[in-house]
Amino acid sequence: MSKINLPSTRRFEARRCIKVHHASLVLLNVFLLLQVEEKMRVMHERKSQKLKHLDEKGAEAHKIDATRTLVRSLSTKIRIAIQVVDKISVKINKLRDEELWPQLNDFIRGYVIL
């Protein structure tokens, strides 16, 4: 029987735990970003309705301008949030395809051999 080198096994396990922890944090951040983006969408919708109402009733120009500026700002923030989530999604898919699937296949082959 061959001896298992425990220190290197422990290092491997520690690295694997760090990678899993990092992946979990990334997913948590994506989830939180999506929640914030949804709140911005709701606020955008409300402010858009307010802007429409202010325009219809002929409100003061500075109120209309302030609301219009806020709506534009929210639109920009929503677009940026969507782009960030898209980029993270591409990275997650790449990680899955290049690292997780090969590890899973090796793990399954190990069980088949047993």
- Note the pLDDT of residue 49: 96
**DSSP secondary structure of 59-107:** --HHHHHHHHHHHHHHHHHHHHHHHHHHHHHHHHHHHIIIIIHHHHHHH
- Note the pLDDT of residue 108: 85
Residue at 13: amino acid letter: E
- Note the pLDDT of residue 36: 92
Structure tokens at 71: 């709506």
Structure tokens at 36: 């914030």
Question: Does the model's pTM come out above 0.85?
Answer: no
Mean pLDDT, each 10-residue run in order, the chain (114 residues) = 53 65 78 91 96 92 93 95 89 84 83 76
Q: Give the domain ranges of the chain.
A: 6-113
